[in-house]
Structure 1
Amino acid sequence: MVYTIEFSDTDRGLKMKSEYQQETVHKEVVIIGNGPSGIALSYMLSGNLPYLTSTSHPDEMLATRLSTVGADGCLIDADLEFLASGLEGRSTNPVSLLLDALSHPCADVGMEEEPLVEFRKNGKEIDHVVLGKGLPGGSWHNMDPQILTLSLGSWMSLPGLPFNSKSSGEKRVYASSVAKYYVQYVEQMNLGKYFRNGVIVTNVQPMAEIYANGFLEHAKEDMNWVRKIEENDSINLCGNLDSKNKFKKCIISNAINYLWNRRNKKSNKCCKRPRDEQIIHEQSPDRKIREVEANCIEDESGQSETEYTDSHILCDSSNNSDFSVYCVRKLRSHDSTPVPSFFKISSCRYSEKVNWMVEAQDLDTGDITTYTCKYLVLANGCSDVPNKLNLSTGIEPDWLLYDLRTLVWCLDEKISEDPLHRMDPVLVVGAGLSAADAVIEVRGRNIPVLHAFRNKSGDLNRLLPEKMYPEYHKVHQMMRNQSSNYPLYTSYPEYTLTRLNEKKHTVVLSPKDGPPVELKVSYVIVLIGSRPDLTFLPSDADIAVKHNLPIDGKTNAVNIDKMTHKVKGYDNLYAVGTLAGDNFVRFISGGALAVVAELYKINEVNET
């Protein structure tokens, strides 16, 4: 539901719009992040549910448990905790392991069996929005397009659309192919209407916190969401007058305006949400939510008059009978998206409908949209912010980089400018697979590599079989064998980058024992992991398993209930994907299933 606000300048008798382009939209579910996790969740929220097609699983114990699923085979109604019991794999989340076991039976032992589950559009459509900075697919669009995936191409697919790569004859596929697949997936699955791409989430606030701070029922007169109405005032927003003539908006308006007031922005908003009791008789799968646009019309005498073109009674009070309604507005109805019959439109009481407020800013226009929702899902991954070394260099030089795609672009630019020029070495810092990718890319351009890493290289065979990942094993071999000479490669095990000299283009590497080394370089790329950008959460939010430590997908995920993916300690907040510890795409759909199953359970959805 969308509304716009106009308010008048009573001194000049003019009607003018706010200098800030704002709108407020209510959704049942807001998903932050449009990567694979957000896409899979949107697919299921749009009514696509998993059904068993067979119980003949190679794992006999799982097959026995699957036989207990209802006659229709729908997993939404099944006992997921029972079905997932005893399963093991590369995820710590039971439902993720379960759906993966049904989608890729015994994949970890090299078997390629047909899936035992299919998705059917038999569910209810839950109104939601997916917010993302770029194109659907998230961070896959930021990767070096020529990097091969760790997972097999078939494991990169999302429910309902197999991944078929034509760009590589290998079982692993290029990152560029995966990024294109996710864009195509959203288009072919008709999910585009749920996606708002090119926006950044700037603020998230729980309604309960605002209510507890007393900004809803006992707002002070000196704050901008409470105004005294004089007899001749022309008010262009709906509100209420008590016996003391104090202007009071509904709680949602108050909360939105409070947040805008904290940012020193003009705020004059009113919630335009239909009352539950007015629409309860209209609930059906075909019922439409109406868009409401509030405008004010003044007659020649300067008095405000009201014109209605919609019969809905709107929420403009806190359901307090002591207040009389004072409204000046014009309503216009427009068709919008269907509302699922099992989700009621909210009343004015925030606790029954609105639990979260999310502000999102358009990266192109700067316009801000405030979303109110009952359920909030964090699906924004863990690759937003690169980890950095503690270097006291002040302003970082432009030859210090943190992502491989930028390095590759810089190197190719230098080579194209002067193909015969011999470049100084590139320093790669880090011991992970991303650092190995950098080593491969730089050496592939006949540029020397200096490779510094803190710890001696471990055994890669336990993680990645050499037959499937020969390029990584080659880099690992070079990292371990100090006595051998490899072309265009020099390793510095147990060395740390401690200093940069911007003018001389040099770096200082300090060993665990011994004197430091100064080296001339062309570029430095630091690849030591990344973390999510959760700065939009309240400053006191502590949602990690290891409290007060940074969140990352490998060692410190979000503290969730493993069966429902609800964030512990918060109402109606969920986390999926790498934030929840699922670091491979093949497990992501299971997290989405856990969330959707919980929402169906909460709202007692009965399929028809």
Structure 2
Amino acid sequence: MKSENPNNIVYKEVVIIGNGPSGIVLSYMLSGNVPYVTSDSHPDEMLSARLGPIVGDCLLYQDFSLLSSGLEGRSTNRVSLLMDALLHPHADMGWDLEPLVEFRKTGAKIDHIVLGKGPPGGSWHRMDPQMLTLSLGSWMALPGMPFHSSDSEEKRAYAADVAKYYVQYTDKMGLAKNFRNGVTVDSVDEVKRSYKSDNWVDKLNNEIKGTLEACMENEENRSRNVMRDGFRRNLRNSRCKCDGAKRNDKKRSISFCCDTSDFDCDRFYSSSMNEKLFRNSFTLDYNKVPSYNSAYRSPETNWIVNCSDANTGEKITYACKYLVLANGSSDSPNRLEVSKTKADPAWMLYDLGNLESRLDSYLTLDPEDVDPVLVIGAGLSAADAIMAVRGRNVPVIHVFRQRSPELSRHLQENLYPEYHKVHQMMLDPSSIHPYYTAYPEYTLTDFDADARTVILTSKEGVSKKINVSFAVILIGSRPDFAFLPKHYNLAARKHLSLDCKTNTADIDRLTYGLRGFDNLFAIGPIAGDNFVRFLPGGALAVTAELYKNRNPMRI
């Protein structure tokens, strides 16, 4: 991908932002691995009847609306429920049945790149390695390669094993060549159709001519005929200082500056009246401007993705026809605004991994007399933090807003005893539990950064001042869409922020295309699929839509 011109654009038909399991399984299917229905022996008799006529056929070309009719489960997406029913028949009933589909490398290979900040696996590499998954270990597997836990006696999987599995998967499945890891997406721009029309040359010609005229109007003591008679002689080594020299049209995403050390005005005017000559001059003179290279001008380009390589500092730009958002849900933790005038102190944290490393360092200084750790939140992440802190024999102060939280609503006690133990402590705050004190219906209202103290206030207005060693706030997280244009609103309920549980991306449930956008898709947690076992459904839907667009007569 490296070239002498760092601003050259690399064209890919599909760019996938996010290299977690969502991006990995989509890469697997885009690499030509497609599912075929092998059996109709499903416990759901209605689904079994619908599968009967298509046994032996490729699933990509089937009617997802018909096949998924009536299916229910822990996803709101019908194709995800369908794919889960075929890969894990009646899994929620505790059944361990053979899949009803198999993947064969008979599909078309669609040129794509998967972009991620870290190794393949995404956020799994940032989790506590010894944390057990909520899902059973077998459900962490992606198509084509089984998952094996390092502890054969444990039905659930350790996060370290899961992270390792996804790296191995990309290697063994031959996907590594489609991944660019260690990169951050800086911005995404949509290429507007107005520049893809037949008269794009005239439009671009008028745009640049207008810019040059603005330069001349603002250049002191120069008349317009300088452009024609002496522009090169007088301005070759100078840079235009006028405001008009740099334009940024949001509708067209065009940036231009008449830096005359790179711009040949005589050649521009001699060729601008001739389309063929203009194209040649344009390519030679504007090669340093990424927006103007051939990939950008291609009618196949709908999106421009600008990235930075964290290891080399290199800037990379991709042009693509289709853009897929698979960047997960945990990039931006929800923050608690305690004070509008005081910044969060260094001991106030927002993720468990950071808490554990900081706490371990803190314990080496004075392991005998450590102030409690304040944990705020009532979800599973807060429960993980409570278990991690108590496991180090450090007291926990647990603050949550509801009197009776439903921490374990979907978790069976025999499979998740540790979470049920935390839930019992939360429900019975009056009882004495080692290293645990609950403060239900309290909130954090103030702190003293230097004294390392916090003020907790009940809903009745009663306040308590407590010394703490650390405070960790675990009240959920949101996907990071800072790279998208600010006016983009992807949420289903437009008046609320997008989150992966209550207000997911506004997608077509059969294609995963984002409503209101062309050639833009969302898969994984941001689309409402929060468990790995449902992710192949989103990948199937997107792949099927791309196949349909390539050959609409085949569907």
Sort the TM-score into its range (normalised by shorter chain): 0.7 to 0.9
**2:519 paired with 1:572:** yes
**2:207 paired with 1:219:** yes
Aligned to 1:243: none
2 CA distance for matches of 1:268 and 1:158? 51
Cα deviation per residue 1:477-530 (whole Å; 9 max; x = unaligned)?
Answer: 000112211111100001011111011110011111132111000000000000
Aligned to 2:184: 200
Shift of 1:266: 12
1 CA distance for matches of 2:95 and 2:272? 61
2 CA distance for matches of 1:220 and 1:167? 65
Cα deviation per residue 1:197-245 (whole Å; 9 max; x = unaligned)?
Answer: 1111111111117859x98464243659x998999979xxxxxxxxxxx
| Alignment CA distance shift 1:405-1:261 (3 Å) | farther
Aligned to 1:394: 342
Cα deviation per residue 1:299-327 (whole Å; 9 max; x = unaligned)?
Answer: xxxx9xxxxxxxxxxxx999956856448
2 CA distance for matches of 1:348 and 1:142? 36
Shift of 1:257: 11
Aligned to 2:105: 121
**2:28 paired with 1:40:** no
Aligned to 1:147: 131
Segment of structure 1 superposing worse, 112-121 or 452-461: 452-461
1 CA distance for matches of 2:161 and 2:320? 34
| Alignment CA distance shift 1:3-1:486 (3 Å) | same
| Alignment CA distance shift 1:415-1:3 (3 Å) | closer
Unaligned stretches of 5+ in structure 1? 6-20, 235-253, 270-302, 304-315, 330-345
Cα deviation per residue 1:125-149 (whole Å; 9 max; x = unaligned)?
Answer: 1000111111111111111111110
Of the candidates 475, 478, 500, which is equivalent to residue 528 of structure 1?
Answer: 475
| Alignment CA distance shift 1:267-1:472 (3 Å) | farther
Aligned to 1:473: 420
Is the 2:36–2:56 contact (alpha carbons within 8 Å) kept by the matching residues of 1? Answer: yes
| Alignment CA distance shift 1:518-1:418 (3 Å) | closer
Query: Which amino acid in 2 is paired with 1:189?
Result: M
Determine what percentage of the aligned residue pairs are the same residue. 54
1 CA distance for matches of 2:186 and 2:314? 12
Aligned to 2:317: 370
Aligned to 2:14: 29
1 CA distance for matches of 2:537 and 2:161? 23
Aligned to 1:406: 354
| Alignment CA distance shift 1:150-1:223 (3 Å) | farther
Is the 1:318–1:349 contact (alpha carbons within 8 Å) kept by the matching residues of 2? Answer: no
Of the candidates 363, 372, 377, which is equivalent to residue 415 of structure 1?
Answer: 363
2 CA distance for matches of 1:471 and 1:348? 54
Segment of structure 1 superposing worse, 568-577 or 454-463: 454-463
Of the candidates 555, 560, 571, which is equivalent to residue 507 of structure 2?
Answer: 560
| Alignment CA distance shift 1:440-1:168 (3 Å) | farther
- Secondary structure, counterpart of 2:192 in structure 1: helix
Shift of 1:358: 0.7
Aligned to 2:44: 59
1 CA distance for matches of 2:231 and 2:261? 22
Shift of 1:458: 3.2
Shift of 1:406: 1.1
Is the 1:27–1:372 contact (alpha carbons within 8 Å) kept by the matching residues of 2? Answer: yes
Is the 1:257–1:267 contact (alpha carbons within 8 Å) kept by the matching residues of 2? Answer: no
Shift of 1:395: 2.6
1 CA distance for matches of 2:230 and 2:283? 14
Aligned to 1:133: 117
TM-score, normalised to structure 2, is 0.84
**2:91 paired with 1:91:** no
Aligned to 1:333: none
Unaligned stretches of 5+ in structure 2? 216-226, 234-248, 285-293
| Alignment CA distance shift 1:72-1:370 (3 Å) | same
Shift of 1:459: 4.0
Shift of 1:416: 3.1
Query: Which amino acid in 2 is paired with 1:34?
Result: N
- Secondary structure, counterpart of 1:542 in structure 2: coil
Aligned to 1:241: none
1 CA distance for matches of 2:296 and 2:317? 17
Is the 1:567–1:573 contact (alpha carbons within 8 Å) kept by the matching residues of 2? Answer: yes
Aligned to 1:289: none
**2:380 paired with 1:441:** no
Query: Which amino acid in 2 is paired with 1:44?
Result: M
- Secondary structure, counterpart of 1:560 in structure 2: coil
1 CA distance for matches of 2:274 and 2:495? 40
- Secondary structure, counterpart of 1:97 in structure 2: helix
Aligned to 2:397: 450
Is the 1:496–1:511 contact (alpha carbons within 8 Å) kept by the matching residues of 2? Answer: yes
Is the 2:442–2:459 contact (alpha carbons within 8 Å) kept by the matching residues of 1? Answer: yes
Is the 1:25–1:371 contact (alpha carbons within 8 Å) kept by the matching residues of 2? Answer: yes
Aligned to 2:237: none
Aligned to 1:429: 376
2 CA distance for matches of 1:553 and 1:324? 46
Is the 2:191–2:253 contact (alpha carbons within 8 Å) kept by the matching residues of 1? Answer: no
1 CA distance for matches of 2:26 and 2:363? 43
TM-score, normalised to structure 1, is 0.77
Query: Which amino acid in 2 is paired with 1:163?
Result: F
Shift of 1:74: 0.6
Cα deviation per residue 1:510-563 (whole Å; 9 max; x = unaligned)?
Answer: 111132111000000000000011011111111110104211100111100000
| Alignment CA distance shift 1:260-1:35 (3 Å) | farther
- Secondary structure, counterpart of 2:207 in structure 1: coil
State the superposition RMSD in angstroms. 3.3
Segment of structure 1 superposing worse, 359-368 or 410-419: 410-419
Is the 2:295–2:301 contact (alpha carbons within 8 Å) kept by the matching residues of 1? Answer: no
2 CA distance for matches of 1:88 and 1:34? 28
| Equivalent residue runs for 1:199-348 within 5 Å | 199-208=183-192, 211=195, 216=204, 218-221=206-209, 223=211, 320=275, 323=278, 325-326=280-281
2 CA distance for matches of 1:531 and 1:402? 12
Is the 1:318–1:348 contact (alpha carbons within 8 Å) kept by the matching residues of 2? Answer: no
2 CA distance for matches of 1:258 and 1:230? 32
Segment of structure 1 superposing worse, 160-169 or 510-519: 160-169
> What is the number of residues matched between the two proteins?
508
2 CA distance for matches of 1:201 and 1:34? 12
| Alignment CA distance shift 1:2-1:85 (3 Å) | farther
1 CA distance for matches of 2:205 and 2:259? 22
Query: Which amino acid in 1 is paired with 2:32?
Result: G
Aligned to 1:12: none
Cα deviation per residue 1:446-486 (whole Å; 9 max; x = unaligned)?
Answer: 10000000112334453111111110110010001122111
| Alignment CA distance shift 1:571-1:267 (3 Å) | farther
**2:490 paired with 1:505:** no
Of the candidates 522, 529, 547, which is equivalent to residue 582 of structure 1?
Answer: 529
| Alignment CA distance shift 1:488-1:325 (3 Å) | closer
| Alignment CA distance shift 1:267-1:411 (3 Å) | farther
Shift of 1:256: 13
Query: Which amino acid in 1 is paired with 2:522?
Result: A
| Alignment CA distance shift 1:375-1:324 (3 Å) | closer
2 CA distance for matches of 1:544 and 1:257? 24
Shift of 1:398: 1.2
Aligned to 1:603: 550
